[in-house]
Structure 1
Amino acid sequence: MKLSKQFFLFMIGGVIGFVVDAGIAQALVTWGGWSAYYSRLLSIPVAATATWLWNRRQTFASHESGRSLFSEWLHWMALMGVGALVNYGTYAVLLMVFPLLHRWPAIATAGGSLVAAVFNFSTARLMLFKGAKTSA
């Protein structure tokens, strides 16, 4: 698969992850009374799992990780964890600079997600789904 198509599919997965992430964070703040900071501690891993499901079936369908399903998910979570730190760091800075975003964390989530997207694609492509699938 061409890199441009792979990147496009990865970005679709990113949009799915963003909707999950921002939706959970916003719901926890609005209806659960959670802090904008703590809401992301739940929303990020759920969103990362959603993006893993999409990317393993769509973006990297022609590649394999050579791992069991659970091991692949753990590896994905570890790799995306580094991107999540970039994402959360950007998010926290946006909350500090724009206090109004504490009520609207979905907006700050978008900023963090955009900054982390290229980093996450690179680590997924170069470190997890690096081998072409072989026909069995």
Structure 2
Amino acid sequence: MATTTELWRFGVVGVIGLLIDIGVLYLALAAGCGFYLGRALSFVAAASGTWLCNRLWTFREQRSGRTLWAEWLHYMSLMLVGGALNYALYAALIALSASVRAWPVLAVCAGSLAGMIANFLSAKWLVFRHRH
């Protein structure tokens, strides 16, 4: 499949992940987890959701040859690179802006954009790469 199509699909899946991220963050905030623990929980939920969607749709023609559990762990470990960029920007915006603390969805969106390219390259070339 063409990289352009994969990138488009990855972007669509990213929006799904963003919605999961925001939803879980707001649930965690309502449960009293706070901005930072809540965001860690929402990241794991969003990354897990995007792994499944990318596996079933974006990179469905490419299999890693790993068990589901091993593939998920590999994906999650590689997503930590983009996740670190994502979380760093989120945390900086939360720390620096009262407006963003009032609307944490803004920090989630900014962080997600920051990590997207790193995560696409990791997913395409390191997780869902066909092994012979």
Q: Aligning the two structures, in what range does the TM-score lie when normalised by the shorter sequence?
A: over 0.9
Are the equivalent residues in 2 in contact too, given 1:35–1:102 (CA < 8 A)?
A: no
Encode CA deviations 1:40-63: one digit per residue, 9 max, x unaligned: 111100110100010001000110
- The answer to whether residue 8 in structure 2 is matched with residue 8 in structure 1 is yes
For residue 60 of structure 2, give the secondary structure of its aligned residue in structure 1: coil
In 1, the alpha carbon distance for the partners of 2:48 and 2:32 equals 24
CA distance in 2, matches of 1:37, 1:25: 9
Match of 1:28 in 2: 28
Structure with larger RCO (C-alpha < 8 A, sep 6+): 1
Q: Give secondary structure in 2 for the equivalent of 1:110.
A: helix
Q: Secondary structure at the match of 2:58?
A: coil
State the Cα distance separating 1:69 from its structure 2 match: 0.8
- TM-score by length of structure 1 reads 0.91
Residue aligning to 2:105: 106
Q: Distance in 1 between matches of 2:107 and 2:73?
A: 26
Cα displacement (A) at 1:83:
1.3
CA RMSD of aligned residues (A): 1.4
- The number of residue pairs the alignment matches comes to 132
Q: Does the C-alpha gap of structure 1 residues 65 and 73 become closer, same or farther in structure 2, counting only changes over 3 Å?
A: same
What letter corresponds to residue 110 of structure 2 in structure 1? G
Secondary structure at 2:66 match in 1: coil
Which structure shows the higher helix fraction?
2
Could you tell me which residue of structure 1 aligns to residue 129 of structure 2?
130
Tell me what 1:116 maps to: 115
CA–CA distance in 2 between the matches of 1:35 and 1:10?
A: 29
CA contact (8 A) 1:87 1:112 kept: yes
- Superposition deviation, residue 125 in structure 1: 0.6
Relative to the length of structure 2, the TM-score reads 0.93
Give the gaps of 5 or more residues in structure 1: none
Q: 2:96 & 2:113 partners in 1: Cα distance?
A: 17
